[in-house]
Structures are given as C-alpha cells and as structure tokens.
Amino acid sequence: MLSLTYHKVFMQTLSEALKTRRSIRKYQPKTVPIELIRELLESVGEAPSAHNSQPWRFVVLLDEKRKRKLSEAMAKTWQTHMKKKGIPEKLQVYLINRSIERFSKVPVIIIACISMQDLHVHRDKLGQLNERDMAVQSLSAGIENLLLTVTSKKLGACWYCTPLFCKSTVKNVLNIPNEVEPQALITIGYPAETPLKPPKKRIEEYAFLDSWNQKMI
C-alpha cells in the first residue's frame, strides 16, 4: 500500500511539474543553497544517454565577478556579430546592456557542455556526426530532467542557447578544455515572475499514426 501511495504521489508531482514548468527570466535576490544545486545536477544523472556515456559536463557559476566576466565577454562577441549584420548601434548597445544585466544578476548560471570522451569512435564522417548528435540528445534529456526538478523544488529556470554562438569565448572565460563543447546556458533562482502558459500546438499538429500526415485517432 505504501509503494502504491508513493507511486501515485510521484506521478502527481511529475504531472504537475510537466504542466507548470515555465521559462523564468526574473529572479528574487535570494541565494540558492549549494545542496539544492547538487540535487538538481544529480537528477541529470538519471536521464538516458547514448551507450550510457553520460556525456554531460556542467560548470556552475555562483561567484558574482565570474558571472559578470562571462556576461560581458559573451556580449562583446555578440556585438561583433551584430556589427557584421549591420544592426544599428543604438540597438546594439540596448541589447548588450540587457544581456549583461540579465546574466550577471541571476543567482545561478549553469553552463551545460558535452564531452565525446566516452562515445564510440568512428573512422567515417557520418559515424562521427551521429555520435555527436547522440551526445547532444543525451545532454538535452539531462537538461530536461534538471528543469523538471527545478520546477518541483519551487525554483525557476530558463534554458538559453547563447553558448552555441560564442563557444570559444565561454571556454576561455571558464577554462573549459578544448575537447569539451559548451552547448547551453541555464539560469536558476527563486522566481520573481509568473509567466502565462504560452500557446501550445495540438497533438494532431506534430504527431502522426503509422505514416506521415496520418492523423492520430
């Protein structure tokens, strides 16, 4: 009876986390305990991964100076890209300042990376690309575990793709080795906003039965 009750409560908690998870960009100026951060990262280890390679690697930023340094470095790289695209200077300044403010003030930043260390080695190009795709998919599964755990702990988080556009910058600031590739930036803290649920596609728009464009019954 106890196990059935526990299972029911667990499923209710999981269902609630799935339905209530939101991308949170505004946080309270409140410290997130390191023990809680460890719990979040431990949830990543429960995710499936290709060949059980567990290719995820994380750098946790709590130090204010380090967060500021990373924010400014990423913004500088972004500005270089914006100049090449011909974006007006005033808009560049606005976007850069907003980015620095957003990332330097959050309680926790987690840089999510992949390592190919324990993936299979292939001589052919296709095999190599497939293994890298598997690493990215594995990391994504791990990040989703983390985000759901964040929600279950009454915290908030937002998953950004920022490092994809400035990998070398992130590596240099955080001393990440060459063989490790930054993939995502996740901000975490106690929510200071309650976003509305964004519009979601109906299952009929993205799922098919037995063959493409065959409607689900």
- Report the percentage of the chain scoring pLDDT > 70: 94
Tell me the CATH number of domain 22-196, given options 3.40.50.261, 3.30.1360.200, 3.60.150.10, 3.40.109.10. Answer: 3.40.109.10
What pLDDT is attached to residue 11? 57
Q: What is the mean pLDDT of residues 171-189?
A: 98
What pLDDT is attached to residue 217? 76
d(CA 87, CA 78): 11
What pLDDT is attached to residue 3? 65
What pLDDT is attached to residue 5? 61
d(CA 186, CA 46): 18
What pLDDT is attached to residue 188? 98
**Of 5-14, 67-76, 101-110, 194-203, minimum mean pLDDT range:** 5-14
Work out the mean pLDDT of the chain and round it to a whole number.
93
pLDDT at 10 over 70: no
**Per-residue pLDDT reduced to its tens digit, 22-46:** 999 999 999 999 999 999 999 999 9
d(CA 149, CA 153): 6
d(CA 60, CA 158): 15
Domain ranges of the chain: 22-196
What pLDDT is attached to residue 17? 87
Q: What is the CA radius of gyration of the chain?
A: 20
pLDDT at 7 over 60: no
Within 8 A by CB and 6+ apart from 134, the residues are 50, 51, 53, 119
